[in-house]
């Protein structure tokens, strides 16, 4: 089967590695646009993943049988609809269904209609409304941009002024003020064929920039899987109370969700609450979830794309644990650094159980260069978290990039 993967981050690199590890020949995979690391594993092509026209033309010319859409931007741009209308199997929801991620107010409406547990929230279109909402809910304040904001649209703060300043930045696209929910965060992915859902395995993402959950929210600085502290029956409960009703509601609305339903959850004292949906694989959670997958990934995604998920085998995962640590450029997420050389990757990748997924890298004339905020993910597996952490941190210690930073506490609390 010829597969086109759209995107060029560490998530897409992890998808490519998982496809190959679970049986897809590397020569059957092409990535647009990819990055310097992905190009080391499979062919990359310089087409715009956000262009319905370019991606469809390429897919038809190259007899692509399955398109896997990594990031949210192509979904929101309608790339899956364009590919599907040409008869190509697509793992990635339609533009309409992707509104589950693209519009937080739409997601809230779907959850309300489907009776899915989530935080109380108020939609605001003026700063006066935001002020009155945050005063009603009280501190800590949770202020969310309604539309896509690359992981930077949400602020959680007890500083009223900072909450208002954040709202001012995003007010034109609408603001959602939400009640603060306390508890552990869990990311749980479901494959969906529009009707049926199938869970993968839970992971935890580290959203804040610095150790001990300090600093601003980011796209994600690290992750681990599985989550040994989850109560028995957790996955089944999320499937029954969140994933199935949500997919059912979208189907009723005439926009079936075919792709990956990312459930961002908080386990509160009063039960599980959804804090966000995404319409695609999470980054960096995918690096750990797919690292543990042993079932052929291409078959699972193809079955979902064709609406045949009930015929697919249940996804299996190794007993090994996995952690990933993101290496970020100086100033991330607030400012961007100039392009700088990266050294020591070979050394890092040579460590047992370690794999490097590239995100913002490009091959320069002499050196591999870091070209963006989240530069790469170091992924390590182990018999337990102590071993996986040891491997990941030893590997990342070999990587030299001026000004770069990473969190030192990924999976720390589960490593004994
Ligand atoms: P989101 O983009 O909606 O996932 O929000 C980004 C991060 O903000 C989440 O991963 C949480 O850490 C935090 N967050 C979002 N909503 C809430 C909430 N209602 N209560 C507490 N923290 C939240
Ligand atoms: N890691 C969070 C996300 O992918 O949105």
Q: Which atom of ligand 2 is nearest to the CA of 282?
A: 4
Residue 104 placed within a domain: no
Residue 116 placed within a domain: no
DSSP 86: T
Instruction: Inform me whether the pLDDT recorded for 358 exceeds 80.
Output: yes
CA–centroid distance, residue 107 to ligand 2 (Å): 16
Residues 270 and 192 in one domain: yes
Q: In angstroms, rounded to a whole number, what is the distance separating the alpha carbons of residues 370 and 58? A: 28
CA-nearest of 8, 30, 7 to 19 is: 30
CA–centroid distance, residue 274 to ligand 1 (Å): 9
How confident is the model over 58-83, as a mean pLDDT?
97
H or E segment to which residue 52 belongs: helix 52-61
> 205 CB under 6 A from ligand 2?
yes
> 355 CB under 6 A from ligand 2?
no
Strand locations in 49-140, DSSP E?
Answer: 66-69, 89-91, 121-124
> 185 CB under 6 A from ligand 1?
yes
Q: Which atom of ligand 1 is nearest to the CA of 180?
A: 20
Strand 197-199 versus strand 184-193 pairing type: antiparallel
Residues 199 and 302 in one domain: yes
- How many domains is the chain partitioned into structurally? 4
Beta-bridge mates of residue 143: 155, 177
Residues 240 and 270 in one domain: yes
Q: What is the pTM of this model?
A: 0.95
Domain C-terminal end among 268, 289, 311: 311
Percent over 70 (pLDDT), the chain? 99
Q: In angstroms, rounded to a whole number, what is the distance separating the alpha carbons of residues 290 and 21? A: 10
Residues 236 and 165 in one domain: no
Residues 213 and 280 in one domain: yes
> Ligand 2: which residue has its CA nearest to atom 4?
282
Whole domain around residue 288: which residue ranges? 182-311
Residues 37 and 84 in one domain: yes
Query: What is the DSSP code string of 218-243?
Result: -S-SEEEE--TTSPTTHHHHHIIIII
Q: In angstroms, rounded to a whole number, what is the distance separating the alpha carbons of residues 226 and 392? A: 16
Residue 117 placed within a domain: no
Q: Please answer whether residues 204 and 189 qualify as being in contact, where contact means their C-beta atoms are separated by less than 8 angstroms.
A: no
The CATH number that applies at residue 140 is 3.30.1490.20
Q: What is the pLDDT of residues 211-234, one digit of tens each?
A: 999 998 899 999 999 999 999 999
> 72 CB under 6 A from ligand 2?
no
CA-nearest of 241, 251, 391 to 323 is: 391
The CATH number that applies at residue 68 is 3.40.50.20
Domain C-terminal end among 270, 286, 311: 311
Residues 199 and 298 in one domain: yes
Residues 208 and 266 in one domain: yes
CA-nearest of 128, 287, 272, 274 to 203 is: 287
Residue 346 placed within a domain: yes
CA–centroid distance, residue 309 to ligand 2 (Å): 24
Instruction: Inform me whether the pLDDT recorded for 342 exceeds 70.
Output: yes
Coil/strand/helix, residue 164? helix
Q: What is the pLDDT of residues 298-310, one digit of tens each?
A: 999 999 999 999 9
Q: What is the pLDDT of residues 145-182, one digit of tens each?
A: 887 766 678 889 999 999 999 999 998 888 899 999 99
Residues 204 and 138 in one domain: no
For helices 10-21 and 297-306, the axis angle rounded to 10 degrees is 110
Residue 119 placed within a domain: no
CA–centroid distance, residue 114 to ligand 2 (Å): 23
Residue 247 placed within a domain: yes
Residue with tokens 């049988």: 65
Q: Which two tokens stand for residue 364?
A: 């320069």
């Amino acid at each position: 089967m010829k597969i086109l993967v759209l995107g060029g981050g560490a998530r897409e690199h992890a998808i490519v590695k998982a496809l190959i590890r679970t049986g897809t020949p590397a020569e059957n995979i092409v990535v647009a646009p990819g990055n310097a690391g992905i190009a080391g594993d499979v062919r990359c092509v310089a087409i715009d993943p956000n262009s319905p026209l370019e991606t469809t033309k390429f897919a038809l010319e190259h007899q692509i049988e399955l398109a896997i859409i990594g990031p949210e931007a192509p979904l929101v741009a309608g790339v899956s609809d364009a590919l599907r209308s040409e008869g190509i199997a697509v793992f990635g929801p339609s533009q309409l269904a992707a509104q589950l991620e693209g519009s937080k107010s739409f997601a809230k409406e779907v959850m309300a209609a489907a009776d899915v547990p989530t935080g109380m929230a108020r939609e605001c279109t003026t700063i006066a409304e935001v002020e009155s909402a945050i005063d009603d809910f009280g501190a800590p304040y949770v202020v969310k941009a309604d539309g896509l904001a690359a992981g930077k649209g949400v602020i959680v703060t007890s500083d009223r002024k900072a909450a208002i300043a954040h709202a001012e930045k995003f007010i034109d696209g609408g603001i959602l003020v939400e009640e603060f929910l306390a508890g552990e965060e869990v990311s749980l992915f479901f494959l969906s064929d529009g009707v049926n859902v199938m869970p993968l395995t839970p992971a935890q993402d580290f959203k804040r920039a610095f150790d001990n959950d300090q600093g601003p929210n980011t796209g994600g600085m690290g992750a681990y899987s599985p989550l040994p502290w989850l109560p028995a029956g957790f996955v089944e409960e999320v499937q029954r109370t969140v994933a199935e009703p949500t997919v059912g509601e979208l189907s009723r609305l005439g926009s079936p969700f075919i792709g990956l339903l990312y459930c961002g959850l908080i386990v509160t004292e009063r039960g599980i609450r959804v804090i966000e949906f995404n319409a695609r694989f999470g980054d960096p959670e995918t690096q750990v979830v797919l690292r543990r997958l042993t079932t052929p990934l291409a078959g699972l995604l193809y079955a979902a794309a064709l609406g045949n998920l009930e015929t697919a085998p249940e996804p299996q995962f190794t007993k090994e644990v996995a952690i990933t640590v993101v290496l970020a450029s100086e100033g991330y997420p607030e400012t961007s650094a100039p392009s700088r050389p990266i050294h020591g990757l070979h050394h890092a990748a040579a460590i047992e159980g370690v794999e490097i997924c590239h995100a913002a890298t490009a091959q320069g004339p002499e050196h591999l260069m870091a070209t963006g905020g989240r530069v790469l993910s170091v992924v390590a597996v182990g018999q337990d978290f102590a071993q996986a952490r040891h491997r990941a941190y030893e590997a990342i210690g070999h990587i030299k990039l001026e000004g770069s930073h990473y969190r030192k506490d990924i999976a720390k609390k589960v490593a004994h």
